[in-house]
């Protein structure tokens, strides 16, 4: 395996676990970065970025990170709340009056962040071109009636999460969420993290591949499939197809629920900035903002009967969940991606963590978990 990077001596166990993911567990290309107390202590990358050409994974390689996008959008929402520009418990319609149609007048941003708003999927079938134009999705959300009484049940809000919170960001700031993220956070920190990949970065993209035996998508009419594909406008994962997750047309558009592209270092630095600040800078999210985000809103089987896999949600972030996504403890907050990518912060342990990979394994993927277990040992 070609590899690069370094780890502080204290964090050698993370480097060992990273190497074992390649030698023992079929890793193709991957990277992991860890900050502790605002200082980078692990920055490792290795393997193959593109299996077709053999192009190696390099320090600046980026990869689609799927729903790690939700963490990026959620940081932006909490930043606006912290600044007094967004009230997470006021009606969405305060900022977006047209949203109140068809029984949505009581929905709050926090219900959306907790996947409890009742609009996990849209009735209207939009084309890929319409979705990339933004406004047609906003109009479809305005027309949508909730599937249940908002706040009383939950279902993963897939793409609607990003468009709905994203339109709130746009109404408040005048910028789409990808642009606001870069202006408020990404550019200043120099993060290789985007919602809407710049065209000039396409050549540095790692190419996703599916692990053998990964289950295929079931019935396209099944609600979770409609959620993931936006009623078939997207192909999931569709790695060799137009409108799938290797298609630059998807990755350069703004899909703020699941279309982010990042390096491991970009995600780790984002969460480090949120939890502790970096290199002595003030932290992005105040302790009370994180406390508010950590209050559990959602757990258990979903409205459609999707089984309880052990996930716990606060306001937009996954919380520490031993059965689903073990992190470091009760102050951990993060988000994962369908390809196995995972990033989180923790202000008790002072950690920002980011792991990305290009071989998609699916539910139960243990690669990030092995790295976090090693990190936990190093921090003990």
Residue pair 284/79 in contact by the 8 Å Cβ criterion: yes
Q: What is the pLDDT of residue 109?
A: 98
Q: What is the pLDDT of residue 216?
A: 74
Separation in Å, CA 202 to CA 70, 256, 269: 21, 18, 21
* Distance between CA atoms of residues 195 and 180, nearest Å: 10
Q: What is the pLDDT of residue 15?
A: 98
User: How big is the chain, counted in residues?
Assistant: 380
pTM, rounded to two decimals: 0.97
Residue pair 253/196 in contact by the 8 Å Cβ criterion: yes
Domain boundaries, the chain: 3-74+179-379
In the chain, DSSP finds a helix count (H) and a strand count (E) of 13, 15
* Distance between CA atoms of residues 177 and 185, nearest Å: 11
Class of domain 3-74+179-379: alpha beta
First to last CA, the chain: 30
Helices (H), 86-243: 109-113, 128-132, 135-143, 158-173, 177-181, 187-189, 223-229
pLDDT beneath 50, residues of the chain: none
Structure tokens at 64: 């689609």
């Amino acid at each position: 395996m070609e590899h690069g990077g370094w780890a502080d001596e204290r964090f050698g166990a993370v480097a060992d676990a990273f190497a074992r993911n390649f030698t023992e567990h079929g890793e193709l290309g991957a990277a992991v970065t860890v900050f502790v107390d605002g200082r980078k202590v692990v920055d490792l990358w290795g393997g193959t970025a593109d299996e077709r050409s053999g192009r190696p994974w390099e320090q600046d390689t980026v990869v689609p990170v799927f729903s790690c996008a939700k963490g990026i959008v959620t940081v932006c929402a909490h930043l606006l709340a912290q600044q007094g520009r967004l009230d997470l418990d006021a009606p969405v319609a305060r900022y977006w009056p047209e949203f109140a149609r068809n029984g949505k007048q009581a929905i709050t941003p926090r219900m959306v962040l907790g996947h409890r708003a009742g609009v996990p999927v849209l009735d209207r079938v939009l084309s890929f071109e319409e979705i990339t134009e933004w406004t047609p999705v906003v109009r479809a959300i305005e027309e949508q009636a909730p599937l249940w009484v908002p706040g009383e049940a939950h279902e993963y809000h897939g793409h609607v999460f990003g468009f709905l919170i994203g339109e709130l960001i746009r109404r408040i700031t005048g910028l789409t969420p990808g642009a606001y993220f870069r202006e408020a956070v990404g550019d200043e920190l120099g993060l290789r993290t985007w919602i809407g990949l710049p065209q000039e970065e396409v050549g540095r993209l790692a190419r996703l591949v599916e692990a053998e035996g990964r289950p295929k998508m079931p019935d396209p009419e099944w609600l979770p499939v409609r959620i993931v594909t936006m009623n078939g406008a997207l192909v999931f994962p569709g790695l060799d197809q137009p409108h799938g997750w290797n298609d630059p047309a998807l990755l350069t558009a703004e899909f703020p629920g699941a279309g982010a592209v990042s390096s491991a270092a970009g995600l780790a630095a984002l969460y480090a900035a949120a939890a502790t600040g970096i290199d002595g800078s003030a932290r992005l999210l105040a302790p009370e903002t994180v406390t508010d985000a950590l209050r559990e809103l959602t757990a258990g089987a979903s409205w459609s009967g999707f089984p309880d896999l052990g996930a716990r949600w606060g306001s937009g972030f996954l919380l520490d969940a031993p059965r689903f996504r073990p992190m470091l403890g009760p102050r951990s907050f993060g988000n994962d991606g369908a390809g196995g990518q995972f990033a989180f912060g923790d202000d008790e342990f002072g950690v920002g963590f980011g792991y990305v990979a290009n071989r998609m394994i699916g539910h139960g993927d243990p690669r990030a978990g092995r790295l976090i277990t090693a990190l936990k040992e190093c921090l003990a």
